[in-house]
Amino acid sequence: MLTLTLVSAGAPVASALANTARLNDQASTVTDKPATDTSNNGNSTAKPTPTPAPAPTAPSKHKPPVASIDPSKMPTGIPTTFDVPAEPAIGEPGSRIKLSSSKLQNPKSSESNDNTRDLGGYVTADGKWKIKANRLLRSANLSGLSADDIKILQNHNVRHIIDMRTKGQVKSKTDKVIPGTYWENISILGEFAGAGLNTDANGDFVPNKNKPGDAGFYNHQLEFSASATTGYNKFLNGLLTQSGATLFHCSSGKDRTGIGSVLIMSALGMDTKTIAKDFMLSQTYNHHVQYSWLKEYYREINTYYTNMPNYLVNGLNFSKHQQEVLKSKYLVSNDKEERAYPAPKTPSVSVPSTPSTPAPVKPDNTKPVRPEASKPAKPAHKPTTKKKVVKVVSVKKIKKVQFVHLKRHRAYFYDIKLKHKVGFTKQSKTKWRLMKRAKLQINGKKVTYVQIKSPHGYHRWIQLNAVNQIKR
């Protein structure tokens, strides 16, 4: 068995949450961020049986399970190490749905899809509930589906398809149409898809400078970028109103799709060991992932949000009530009866009291005084609509090795032109190295910025007065 461990943890990265400036999807065609995948042998999945309807009102010998999952009280620590799981048997949670477009079934297939599976059967941390079969399917791009593949997915009751790829990727390899389904594009990577996280000497983005699929990719683009928080919020909210099965996918079905599964299973109440197993099954099916990437993803969440439940509520704006609704739609009891998870009560809304009928009052015949019209006061200053214009005056490399700490609540940026904001700094003991010193003119005003480098190798630009130099 292969054991993967955490690599050197990177420096914390400030959140660019959904309430920051929205980023538009990049229209240019880019490859999936992770490295090129190869295919693996897989098992076929038996034809699914429909989920039994909840029992009628007749009394039962067994008491129905009580909805007792409280995400805030669940352990959120992720295992230190995790073995690559063995391939599940047919019908077991995580077993592969065999499609003819896979390399195993069709070696000549140009579009391998060996990573399609049902989340049905995964059990919650308390052991009382499990995900319904044929409701949540994860997959890779559907551009190579055959007619038989389409029938297989129809047999799994697929009604809604969420494509998490960029517009360029969608255009390059368009999904095959599955009759009777609704297709929706929610780009998770957005504007920064295919762009490196580091910058060149001019502070501009350098495409593909970062290694594909590394931990930094998970932190910056799948966790804290505005396109990711907005996209995953829309994805989770959409699941609250869907009927039938929802199939969600990206290019290889392992990174954007993998994090989508992490969020769903976290909201439904699975423990981190079960979540890690589902994530690592992509490696079992020869779609490369590393456990260290998932650990780094959790480390950043625990650093800024304490735990995953807080991240769902405060980072993705997916409330506890919405999580309860999600459970009522996708969980059933973990027994033969498979009772539906009880729907939450609708939040109470205060009803205004009916005002009492006032006693009639005799009209006053005196002539009313006409009020004088008051002129609105003029604003003290006119609102500023001028755009920020940044001009680079000079850039000098800092030769002497110097380290700094970042002050709290200070804006910092990916690029020297200050066009792409990372977010705001938070309290941290991380040492950033000073790399360059730049003199800028912002709307004619001279300001000094410095380029800083994290221990993990990320470069950022921040105003000089926002750093504290570490005395050696």
Element (H, E) at 221: helix 215-221
How high is the pLDDT of residue 427?
A: 67
Angle between helices 272-284 and 256-268 (to 10 degrees): 150
How far, in Å, CA of 9 to CA of 214, rounded?
A: 11
Alpha-carbon gap, residue 263 to 164, rounded angstroms: 14
Number of H helices, E strands in the chain: 9, 19
Q: In the structure encoding, which two tokens stand for residue 347, read together?
A: 């939040």
| Rounded Cα–Cα distance for residues 322 and 308 (Å) | 15
Predicted local distance difference test score (pLDDT) of residue 20 = 36
Q: Is residue 273 within 8 Å of residue 187, measured between CB atoms?
A: no
pLDDT for position 74: 45
Cβ contact 197:225 at 8 Å? no
Q: What is the 3-state secondary structure (H, E, C) of 10-61?
A: CCCCCCCCCCCCCCCCCCCCCCCCCCCCCCCCCCCCCCCCCCCCCCCCCCCC
Angle between the N-to-C axes of helices 226-239 and 320-330, in degrees from 0 to 180, rounded to the nearest 10: 50
The residue ranges of the chain whose pLDDT is under 50 are 1-66, 68-69, 71-75, 110, 194-213
Distance, in Å, from the CA atom of 271 to the CA atom of 76, rounded to the nearest integer, reads 7
Q: How far apart are CA 258 and CA 265, in angstroms?
A: 11
Query: Cα(445)–Cα(382) distance, rounded to whole angstroms?
Result: 20
Q: Which domains does the chain have, with CATH numbers?
A: 8-198+210-333 (3.90.190.10), 390-469 (2.30.30.170)
Q: How far apart are CA 286 and CA 103, in angstroms?
A: 11
The pTM is what? 0.60
Q: Distances from the Cα of 340 to the Cαs of 32, 95, 156, 231, 436, in angstroms?
A: 37, 23, 19, 28, 59
The predicted-structure confidence for 364-374, as pLDDT tens digits, reads as follows: 566 656 656 55
pLDDT attached to residue 242: 92
